[in-house]
């Protein structure tokens, strides 16, 4: 049972990020994405990857290695398409927590590798930190959507959040079966937040940014809607030319 849930959770988690990667990295559409949530997603993948390495859990290792690479690509796309997010003040506000979590995860791994600490003893605090931060990291996106009901949602992929709800449900069941409260509690909070985002996207369809050539150009006087300038008839051309010939 646990093996089947682990495979299902890993498959859904790996699949859920790619609709958003296609939208943001391929089409450069990032409007509506939470910068804090994007930073924390990368940090959480690093933290759960370290947890998987410490406990020898292949589901955690494979999932967070692949999804971590994809979330890093999403973070880069977000920073490239919205330059104001790279300012010092914004980075201090949105990235500081994620950087602290990455430092904690890497430090925990180094304690085991360099000092020979017991992996199981170190994995507990790593999982607790990842669980608490993961629950908090799921909140910025739905809170942002609920607070600002007029923001552009063209950068959010509905498929990503539907798959996210399914993946969190699978991880909650996986953690429950294995008796890992840190896993199923974090996944349960993520499930609730994913359902909120799905509901918002269902009622507020994302609006694509208008193309730069979509606005109609001002029409010149006498130009028809087809863009063809009306030409005078041959008889009128001849009558207009007669005074010129006579004058000559």
pLDDT score for 3: 80
- Cα–Cα distance for residue pair 120/122, rounded to 1 Å: 5
Closest by Cα among 132, 128, 115 to 50: 128
pLDDT per position as a tens digit, 134-186:
888 888 888 888 888 788 788 888 888 899 999 999 989 988 988 888 788 88
pLDDT score for 46: 95
192 by Cβ neighbours in 10 Å (0-12 / 13-18 / 19+) ranks as middle
Residue 215: band (very low, low, confident or very high) from pLDDT cuts 50, 70, 90: very low
pLDDT score for 221: 54
- Cα–Cα distance for residue pair 27/80, rounded to 1 Å: 12
> Mean pLDDT in the chain?
82
Residue 26: band (very low, low, confident or very high) from pLDDT cuts 50, 70, 90: confident
Contact yes or no for 203/153 (Cβ under 8 A):
no
Q: Residue 188 belongs to what H/E stretch? A: helix 181-203
Cα angle for residues 83, 85, 90 (degrees, 5° grid) = 145
pLDDT score for 205: 64
Contact yes or no for 90/38 (Cβ under 8 A):
no
49 or 215, higher pLDDT: 49
Residue 246: band (very low, low, confident or very high) from pLDDT cuts 50, 70, 90: very low
Residue 220: band (very low, low, confident or very high) from pLDDT cuts 50, 70, 90: low
User: Hey, where are the domains in the chain?
Assistant: 2-203
H helices present in 23-137, as ranges:
35-55, 58-81, 88-94, 96-115, 119-137
Cα-to-chain-centroid distance, residue 160: 8
């Amino acid at each position: 049972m646990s093996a089947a849930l682990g495979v299902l959770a890993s498959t859904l988690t790996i699949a859920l990020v790619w609709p958003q990667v296609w939208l943001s990295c391929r089409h450069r559409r990032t409007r509506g994405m939470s910068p804090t949530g994007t930073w924390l997603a990368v940090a959480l993948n690093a933290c759960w990857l370290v947890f998987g390495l410490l406990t020898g859990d292949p589901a955690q290792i494979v999932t967070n290695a692949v999804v971590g690479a994809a979330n890093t690509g999403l973070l880069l796309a977000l920073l490239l398409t919205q330059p104001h997010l790279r300012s010092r003040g914004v980075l201090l506000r949105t990235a500081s927590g994620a950087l602290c979590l990455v430092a904690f995860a890497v430090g925990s791994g180094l304690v085991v590798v360099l000092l020979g600490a017991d992996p199981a003893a170190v994995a507990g605090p790593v999982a607790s930190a990842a669980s608490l931060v993961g629950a908090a990291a799921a909140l910025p996106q739905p809170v942002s959507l609920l607070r600002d009901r007029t923001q552009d949602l063209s950068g959010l992929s509905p498929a990503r959040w539907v798959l996210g709800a399914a993946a969190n449900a699978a991880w909650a069941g996986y953690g429950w079966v294995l008796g890992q409260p840190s896993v199923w509690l974090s996944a349960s909070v993520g499930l609730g937040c994913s359902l909120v985002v799905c509901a918002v996207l269902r009622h507020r369809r994302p609006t694509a940014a208008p193309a730069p050539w979509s606005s109609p150009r001002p029409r010149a006087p006498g130009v028809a809607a087809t863009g063809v300038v009306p030409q005078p008839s041959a008889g009128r051309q001849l009558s207009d030319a007669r005074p010129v010939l006579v004058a000559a």
